[in-house]
């Protein structure tokens, strides 16, 4: 009888602890085009990628190249993304088109959205 109570209490406690955790999401940039794209970022301390940068510009942007259909993980966020965005500024260059976001609101506007407007998780910036 006591063994059953201990098992039930342990299961209940573990369930409560695990459901109370904030979700952990990756932050990626995906090139969904048929062209190579250049990603220029001014990184924060949250920026983490395994991809090698091509160069650093004179104005402090690190440049990464994304081949067609390639993804680059650039960090992660716990639940809300506001404090975990891995760059201060981003420029996406494809052919002769450039998209620039240089503040939190503009950067957040680049992320994929759900049908009703919120940010889609895991967090992704799609280049289309």
Q: Looking at the domain that runs over 23-127, which CATH code has it been given?
A: 2.60.40
- Measured CA to CA in angstroms, residue 71 lies from 6, 18, 54, 109 at distances of 46, 30, 16, 19
Coil vs helix vs strand at 68: coil
Six-digit token string for 102 = 């240089």
Model confidence pLDDT, tens digit, residues 111-126: 999 998 889 999 999 9
The residues that bridge with 98 in the sheet, in sequence order, are: 93
Q: Is the pTM of this model over 0.85?
A: no
The domains of the chain are located at 23-127
The residues that bridge with 55 in the sheet, in sequence order, are: 63
Model confidence pLDDT, tens digit, residues 46-99: 999 999 999 999 999 999 999 999 999 999 988 778 788 999 999 999 998 999
- Measured CA to CA in angstroms, residue 31 lies from 79, 85, 101 at distances of 24, 19, 17
């Amino acid at each position: 009888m006591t063994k059953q109570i201990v098992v039930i209490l342990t299961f209940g406690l573990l369930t409560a602890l695990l459901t109370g955790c904030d979700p952990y999401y990756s932050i990626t940039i995906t090139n969904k085009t048929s062209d190579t794209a250049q990603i220029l970022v001014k990184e924060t301390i949250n920026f983490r990628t395994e991809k090698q940068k091509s160069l650093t510009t004179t104005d402090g942007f690190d440049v990464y190249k994304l081949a067609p259909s390639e993804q680059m993980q650039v960090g992660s966020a716990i639940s809300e993304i506001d404090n975990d965005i891995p760059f201060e500024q981003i420029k996406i260059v494809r052919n002769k088109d450039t998209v620039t976001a240089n503040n939190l609101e503009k950067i957040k506007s680049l992320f994929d959205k759900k049908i009703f407007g919120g940010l889609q998780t895991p967090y992704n910036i799609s280049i289309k």
